[in-house]
Structure 1
Amino acid sequence: MLDIPFPPFCAFLGSLGLLCVALVSAWCQHWRGGFSLDGGSRTFNWHPVLMVTGLVVLYGAAALVYRLPNTWSGPKLPWKLLHGGLALGAFVLTVLGLAAVFRFHNSNGTPNMYSLHSWMGLGTVLLFSCQWAAGFGTFLLPWAPAWLRQLYKPIHVFFGSTILMLSVASCVSGINEKLFFSLKNGTTQYKLLPAEAVFANTLGILILLFGVLVVGALARPSWKRPDSDSLDSRQPLLSAER
């Protein structure tokens, strides 16, 4: 990656994430009819918006918390709380996104869990839930000894990047699947690249770019938080010692 400071890179990445959220919202509003909670197609539209916002953008923000230079000195506990809170927010939005698509399918008699996209998406969410629970139990609760936290830390980091890339793959495959289902009889076919297809394909490329940049930032050695053996870096949230 280019030798640039993290803050401007972070600002660019944040703008890219907001752009992804804005574009998926515009796609669902302009071409897919908007949003509703009636169980119809407009209920489904919450699914891509919430998944991109939670499972990709907010999750990516949570992953990059410890790359902020402000986290490299001083107490680590507030940054632990921010990291865990952002991840929890991403998980809540993801669950709401799943609820929207299952409600749409059930209301319209559409089978659930038959496509590769659905398998990959649900598997990603299940892995995400295990990752958050294991991280909370290991790094924030008082029962985990220091040796266990040290042992689990690289595993936690590895699966963090893995879940993000699975999230990106799930979102991109979902966009493609929706276009195949929507742009067929009665509409301009997907293969003829109507305006909606170009717009949604561009959205998919931007989501992929966002994920690649986040993983690249996580892998860059100069942006990693220096290891610290201070008491605060080893202290869980609910410890009796303050």
Structure 2
Amino acid sequence: MAMEGYRGFLALLVLALFFGFLSVICTLVWVLHYREGLGWDGRGAEFNWHPVLLVTGFVFIQGIAIIVYRLPWTWKCSKFLMKSIHAGLNSVAAILAIIALVSAFDYHNTLSIPNMYSLHSWIGLIVVILYILQLVLGLFIFLFPWAPPSLRAIFLPIHVYSGLLLFGSVMIAVLTGMTEKLFFVLPNGLYSLLPPEGVFVNTLSLLVVVFGALIFWIVTRPQWKRPQEPNLTLLQPNGGTAGGVAGSMAIHSDNMDKSDAELNSEAAARKRNFALDETGQRSTM
């Protein structure tokens, strides 16, 4: 199917990729040029992995995972493949976030700096925990063929909403973390004098904001949704049908979960029933 407003989508996608990739590059420039570089010694070089991995994983990779269903070139791919790609990208983001947390705690413990006292640390830890919970529930409910279609239909809007909420919370955590770091490394009011590092990190923060805004815009445009699979409807208790994405996704996932053996056995059973009906009709004639 042709995407409505394809050129607009393509332009925004290119812009999002540009700003996201630029955010990762600028974070590397920040820690390599203005800070102590990268290392794993329990000191500043180890802590620098914290912003690099979070911007790379929790911002850039998570943003791509959110809009991967919107890419029109993937609409002919199976839903299971797209769910696997979505889960894989989010898994990579979660692993990078965990390593980023380890680097921060290790740095604090090495230099006897208190842990978990700032708003940034509170938001960051809560987001990581909820993100991992969201990932695990998503795997067991949507990717693995264990959950019934009714549960998938109920959980889908919650999954979508919580994913966007967590992505927005990541933006808040990253911005507060960058500002907090500048206050630490630019003491005695130096930050207020707009030093080169302060200007650079403020610009980096704006790049992150623009990337997040583009991702939110792309994922909230109804005309850029992945088309529903044809001839898939979900009957409601009142006799109507659910025209939303949840119903179609639930039935499609249920059909995808059936093995070839189950489908063949169902077809054979229908043939037997038809033969019996034919035999019964002939005997009564």
Question: TM over 0.5, yes or no?
Answer: yes
Identity among equivalent pairs (%): 41
Letter in 2 for 1:40: R
Cα distance in 1 for partners of 2:14, 2:202 equals 24
TM-score by length of 2: 0.79
Name the count of aligned residue pairs: 237
The alignment status of 1:241 with 2:259, answered yes or no, reads yes
Once structures 1 and 2 are overlaid, which stretch shifts more, 143-152 or 109-118?
Answer: 143-152
Query: Unpaired segments of 5 or more residues in structure 1?
Result: none
TM-score by length of 1: 0.93
Letter in 1 for 2:10: P
C-alpha deviation, 1:10, in angstroms: 1.4
8 Å contact from structure 2 (residues 183, 191) kept in 1: yes
C-alpha deviation, 1:236, in angstroms: 8.5
8 Å contact from structure 1 (residues 47, 98) kept in 2: yes
8 Å contact from structure 2 (residues 148, 254) kept in 1: no
> What's the Cα RMSD here?
1.8
8 Å contact from structure 1 (residues 55, 167) kept in 2: yes
Matches within 5 A, 1:102-141: 102-141=105-144
Letter in 1 for 2:252: S
Larger Rg over CA atoms: 2
Partner of 1:218: 219
Once structures 1 and 2 are overlaid, which stretch shifts more, 71-80 or 151-160?
Answer: 71-80
- Label 1:145 to 1:35 Cα distance change in 2 as closer, same or farther (>3 A): same
Query: Unpaired segments of 5 or more residues in structure 2?
Result: 233-247, 261-285
SS at match of 1:22: helix
Cα distance in 1 for partners of 2:254, 2:88 equals 18
Partner of 2:168: 165
C-alpha deviation, 1:147, in angstroms: 1.2
Cα distance in 2 for partners of 1:210, 1:115 equals 25
Cα distance in 1 for partners of 2:53, 2:62 equals 12
1:123-168 alpha-carbon deviations (Å, 9 max, x no partner)? 1111101110111011012220111111111111111111111001
Cα distance in 2 for partners of 1:208, 1:74 equals 31
Letter in 1 for 2:190: Q
Partner of 2:190: 189
Partner of 2:30: 27
SS at match of 1:5: helix
Cα distance in 2 for partners of 1:70, 1:189 equals 49
User: Which of 113, 138, 147 is 2:150 aligned to?
Assistant: 147
- Label 1:182 to 1:82 Cα distance change in 2 as closer, same or farther (>3 A): same
Partner of 1:209: 210
The alignment status of 1:42 with 2:61, answered yes or no, reads no
